[in-house]
Amino acid sequence: MSNDSFKYDRTIRELMQAIPVKFTEILTGMRITEILDTTFPKVDERVADFIGRLEDGTILHIELQSQHDHSLPERMIDYFLRIKAKYGQIPLQMEDVRMKSTFRLDH
């Protein structure tokens, strides 16, 4: 992305924050009840249980849990995005089958 594109995107983003609520209502047909923070600071480090490359080139990601964890589906999405960004491939993901809630992102 060029510097000019970044400046343009940033300007548009800043203008969007300044748009009056009424204009947004006209634009979307719905009323805004709250303007939310658009910043997503990245200050965490995520360590997966296991990531490996299979003989066919597929990246395998495995997460094991000792007890039920309601946040596992969201973490699997987070791992999916991080693995895709780092290795440029969609991973095959597996989690502990004893978990009551599961979420899978298939190819």
Running along the chain, 107 residues long, what does each successive block of 10 average in pLDDT?
69 72 80 76 86 92 84 91 94 74 52
Q: Is 32 helix (H, G, I), strand (E, B) or coil?
A: coil
Instruction: Give the pLDDT score at 106.
Output: 56
Instruction: Give the pLDDT score at 8.
Output: 75
Answering whether pTM is above 0.75, one says no
Residue 51 · residue 83 · CB < 8 Å: yes
Instruction: Give the pLDDT score at 2.
Output: 60
Residue 20: Cβ within 10 Å count: 9
